[in-house]
Amino acid sequence: MMNKATTERKSFDYMNPVVAPNLPRVDVPIVQASAKSLQGFGELVADYKNHQVEIVTWPAQGWRSVDNGTGDEGGHAEGIFKFWWEGDVLLGENESVNDSYVLGWSKEPCEASRENLKADRSQLLMWHANYHPDGAQLFFPLDGRPFVAAFAKPGDDMTPSDWVAFYFDGSAGVCIHPGVWHEAIVPLTDSARFYDKQGRVHARVSCDFGKEFGVLISIPLTENPPGYE
């Protein structure tokens, strides 16, 4: 595992991730998304136009407190977040923050091809995750299609075993709490469009699973998984 010093001030080329070949995979459990199963991760969203997206007040730097009504005035960024498959590769484009990503692969990354017309999309191998300390993030499926999203609860000492995947049938979206680890929204169709709303500051804290843990996260892309007990 990388120590704290080696994880400081690193940057990522999200469109050209460097992943070592044949990394072990950590299988993530999957459950139906519900108000109960999402506790600690986020909330189901039915009315995305009126759902509150929390912004977190900037922390104080010392013993003096932040003045009331300040430190949370950046407002929100909102727009369309698109996800689509090209063969074995899942890509995303967030118009809210003008950024694009390779989010993962359905097979070993060094073997993945964007031209594969017979891709087996029973899993997503995820190489990276992040959280936003400055606010929540809302995703709502504008096409009403099913999708899968994986989360881990807040904390910089997150490990691959902390992750849970959630199946959404497309009738509702999700608003993840500030600090919750996340990455791809994975469509179970070739593509999907989501309404996205998040804090405009958009601070991002990241983890590269291959470099920090020597693994990739395997998210099952299963419809109608077991319910949450």
Helices and strands counted in the chain (H then E): 1, 16
Phi/psi of residue 210, nearest 5 degrees: -65, -45
Residue 131 and residue 117 in contact, taking contact as beta carbons nearer than 8 Å = no
Name the residue with tokens 């070739």: 190
**Domain residue ranges in the chain:** 23-57+75-220
Q: Which residues of 12-42 are buried (b: 16+ CB within 10 A; e: fewer)?
A: eebeebebeeebebbebebbebeeebbeebb
What is the arrangement of strands in the sheet containing 191-199, beginning at the earlier edge strand? 25-27, 216-220, 123-126, 99-105, 89-94, 76-86, 191-199, 137-141, 173-176, 42-45
Q: What pLDDT shows up at residue 228? A: 60
Q: Which helix (H) or strand (E) holds 211?
A: helix 209-213
Residues 6+ apart with CB under 8 A from 189: 143, 145, 146
For domain 23-57+75-220, the CATH superfamily is: Ureidoglycolate hydrolase (2.60.120.480)
Mean pLDDT by 10 residues, the chain (229 residues): 45 88 97 96 97 90 87 89 97 87 96 94 97 94 97 97 97 97 94 94 91 98 78
